[in-house]
Structure 1
Amino acid sequence: MASNGFPNGSTNGHLHPASDPAVYDKYRPRWEILPQTADEWLARASEVKEVLRQDAVQRDLENKTPRAEVALLKHSGLLKVLGPKRYGGGEQPWHVGYRLIREVAQGDGSIGMLLGYHLFWSQTANLVGTPDQAEALHEFIISNNLFLGGAVNPRDNDLSIKSEGDTLIWNGFKNFNTGGVVSDLTVLEGVLEGTKDHIYTVVSTSQPGIQFAHNWDNVGLRLTESGSVKIDNVVVPWTDALGWNPQTKRPIPNVLEIPFVSLLLPTIQLVFSNFYIGIAQGALSTSAAYTRQHTRPWPYSSDPKTSALDEFYILERYGNFHAHLVAAAALADRANAAATQLYETYNYHRDGDNRGGLTARERGEFAETVAAVKVVATDTGLRVTSGVFEVTGSKATSRKVGLDRFWRDVRTHTLHDPVAYKNRELGRYALLGEVPEPTWYT
């Protein structure tokens, strides 16, 4: 354990071939100075996007553990964007973080997703921990430039937690653990034995009790290392139980039983929507470049054109895709701004804790804003990433073009939780004025 109460950030060894971090060494000195303004952060994310775009198709085919890509994120400073400046972070609001996720996802959906999950997990203690725990964790993550994963898949059984003296013993299994193999730290969540009480903590990934199956070989988001993990007798001191009193071994009043804590769920749902939109934007820009260079006009029409750029149906499709993506991005930006407003109004501060001020109604209305984005981002993402083949032609289905990776990425993650339930939830809100009860997916 480190002196501040959080573990050191080394990583597990890996069984599968991994990309070589050295390929991105040249970017470390280039990006040594962190951006200062929102525009500068977006420009940095755009640079990362362009680096990833160059060989995204080949890296997707190789399906190597993305150690190099995580190193690139570390060099860029993007992992620090939300962290406090006093520890070396960017101290940018959530709406900037969401835009960075979207930008990186245009170049590589997997790496945009990894960035999004990291930013979310790096803020865990802000919601469920005490201010002292949050400060210690921020300092540790930022000063060591660490990358976080999380073994918190609600579709599986909760991890079991047994209290033994001043320690907690964690055991269990998760089918999905995004970024875990390449993470420095892992967020764990489970239920304390003999109770219904949930506990979050953050542990070093590099320990024998965290055992990865290395079985992520899915149709899309192939570089996210979202395979399964076994948690086997991981020992955590009671002092690292976020939001709990280590002496009484009970939750600290007004920390875990307030609506603010359940912002965890819409916050990460909005992460999803932003990288869906980013992936679809990447698909549109990639297909447009292909159309300009390679797509041929259809010669058997009543009004044949000499260039594909003059074809009515091609222009109509690109215009329609563009309109829907602009609308989806605008809706996401509205939700992103709402997230910033909630966190700036009700978060803890060094001189006070305002988290108890958020009402259940405010929380629920934010969740419905996020649900609307999720529906639109899902529908638009799937429509655009599959539809671009209509405006590129049959040769664009070649593996070397790799245009299919965008659809595969969106299709894979949009199955995370059924969007039909978001539509039903929104129907009850629109028709009956009801806001949803917090769940693991709402």
Structure 2
Amino acid sequence: MTQEVPSTDPAVYNAYKEKWAVAPTTAPEWLTRAREVADVLATDAALRDQDNKSPVAEVTLLKHSGLLKILGPTKYGGGAQSWDVACKVVREVARGDGSIGMLLGYHLLWSTTANVVGTPEQADRLHERILTNNYFVGAAVNPRDDDLKITREGDEIIFNGFKGFTTGGAVSDLMVLEGVLEGTELHVFALVETRQPGLSFLHNWNNIGLRLTESGSVRISDVRAPWADALGYDAATQQPLPEILLIQYPSILLPTLQLIFCNFYLGIARGALETGKDYTTRTTRPWPYGGGETASTATDEFYILERYGKWLAHLRAAEALADRAGEELATLYARHAVDHAGLTAAERGELAEWVASVKVVATDVGLEVSSGVFEVTGARATSRKVGLDRFWRDIRTHTLHDPVAYKQRELGRYLLLGEYPAPSWYT
């Protein structure tokens, strides 16, 4: 049973349900909608970050915007957009609020998991359920925790255990659970209803960054799902389908997730740059003790112009790299939308290295911009009211998710030895 905790009020966003009643239909329209959402979130992002309330209202805003449906099939009200567009949308939302950009990105992955590891029938059934109800999807799949234990009972599987991280879980409608079937080494994914006695959220996420992601822990006690919902399994035999178990296609789930990470890093960095620019142009004063001729405004200061110019160039380069990786991802999904078995290890490996390249660059640029922005805004910009610190805290928090040094080593082996990384929970 989920305890009562302070949460944001969905009523503050009531007007957007009508304003955004008509869903976008083209990629430019989806990006425009994402910018609108980011602008709404940015108005009070610093205050909401400090309050650290459960993001019920923010998830409601995402539902009003239609962005939760961007990848789904049109027959159920989805946007039928490709992953490169979805990644840009995540980046835009993160510009306004990194936590909500992260929630959106995770939802897009978990709500389409059946496309990758499930059967066509399972994917279609889940699309209908998620899209027609405008559901938000969370997950308890952190692989470094002990796996959930799954037992069989007739036509059902039963999950038990504990997960330390469950991004978006406590504010979700459905949860992806994953564990190991008792007596085997077989992993099982299934989506279950969030609001049930067997899921007990601890609401213990109080970290320095991404404070509105509800990424805390959950206890899972006797949560049941029918074998028909075990993704990629035959309900009659209760065994994984060979055509899913023995192919590369399910392994693209992880490069997809890693590219989502990269895009919300870059969105947060762009938010830091824009917030810093606004503060510098309106508030920052020139330094009068530098010797020689004193600049009349902060925007005449050589070092300020130089820093902003450098960051803009590097951020644009990182965004271009992310867009290229997004195109590679979308192309691979489109090429193998029907012929999953045709995906080769080389195709998967090339995609993973495009994504690894983005991860390295997005981490470097994001940390540099979000920490360096204080140097061009001044001491008064450290006020909590300004909230510039949230950008660095958000990027710093998530870039520790998995060490970027391993991505750099991976790229080195790819370049020098021609090796592709073995598919894993982090590659």
Q: TM-score range by the shorter chain?
A: over 0.9
Match of 2:252 in 1: 263
Match of 2:80 in 1: 91
Match of 2:419 in 1: 434
Match of 1:346 in 2: 336
How far, CA to CA, are the matches of 1:204 and 1:27 in structure 2? 26
Match of 2:371 in 1: 386
Deviations 1:349-377 (A, max 9, x none): xxxx3111100111011001100000000
How far, CA to CA, are the matches of 1:71 and 1:256 in structure 2? 36
Counting only pairs closer than 5 Å after superposition, residues 230-379 of structure 1 correspond to structure 2 as 230-301=219-290, 302-347=292-337, 353-379=338-364
Deviates more, 1:298-307 or 1:373-382: 298-307
The offset of 1:249, in angstroms, is 1.0
Counting only pairs closer than 5 Å after superposition, residues 95-244 of structure 1 correspond to structure 2 as 95-244=84-233
- The residue identity in structure 2 corresponding to 1:435 is Y
The offset of 1:256, in angstroms, is 2.5
The offset of 1:296, in angstroms, is 0.5
Are positions 1:414 and 2:404 aligned together? no
CA RMSD of aligned residues (A): 0.8
- Contact in 1 for aligned 2:2/2:199 (Cα 8 Å): no
How far, CA to CA, are the matches of 1:18 and 1:297 in structure 2? 41
Deviations 1:322-372 (A, max 9, x none): 01100000000000011110111102xxxxx31111001110110011000
Normalising by structure 2, we get a TM-score of: 0.99
Deviates more, 1:250-259 or 1:210-219: 250-259
- Contact in 1 for aligned 2:138/2:168 (Cα 8 Å): yes
Counting only pairs closer than 5 Å after superposition, residues 14-29 of structure 1 correspond to structure 2 as 14-29=3-18
- Contact in 2 for aligned 1:14/1:181 (Cα 8 Å): no
Match of 1:402 in 2: 387
The offset of 1:227, in angstroms, is 0.2
- Percent identity of paired positions between Structure 1 and Structure 2: 64
For structure 2, the 5+ residue unaligned runs are: none
- The residue identity in structure 2 corresponding to 1:45 is A
* Secondary structure of the structure 1 residue equivalent to 2:25: coil
For structure 1, the 5+ residue unaligned runs are: 1-11, 348-352
How far, CA to CA, are the matches of 2:266 and 2:100 in structure 1? 14
Match of 2:37 in 1: 48
* Secondary structure of the structure 1 residue equivalent to 2:328: helix
* Secondary structure of the structure 2 residue equivalent to 1:110: helix
- Contact in 1 for aligned 2:2/2:200 (Cα 8 Å): no
The offset of 1:14, in angstroms, is 4.4
How far, CA to CA, are the matches of 2:109 and 2:3 in structure 1? 24
Normalising by structure 1, we get a TM-score of: 0.96
- Contact in 2 for aligned 1:186/1:205 (Cα 8 Å): yes
- The residue identity in structure 2 corresponding to 1:324 is H
* Secondary structure of the structure 2 residue equivalent to 1:266: helix
The offset of 1:165, in angstroms, is 1.2
The offset of 1:172, in angstroms, is 1.1
- Contact in 2 for aligned 1:17/1:64 (Cα 8 Å): yes
- The residue identity in structure 2 corresponding to 1:335 is A
How far, CA to CA, are the matches of 1:287 and 1:401 in structure 2? 10
How far, CA to CA, are the matches of 1:325 and 1:406 in structure 2? 14
Deviations 1:82-106 (A, max 9, x none): 0000110000001110000000000
Cα separation, partners in 2 of 1:233 and 1:13, compared to 1, 3 Å: closer
The offset of 1:303, in angstroms, is 2.5
* Secondary structure of the structure 2 residue equivalent to 1:267: helix
Deviations 1:49-106 (A, max 9, x none): 1100111011011011000000000000000000000110000001110000000000
The offset of 1:117, in angstroms, is 0.2
Report the number of matched residues: 426
- Contact in 2 for aligned 1:15/1:214 (Cα 8 Å): no
Match of 1:71 in 2: 60
The offset of 1:13, in angstroms, is 4.8
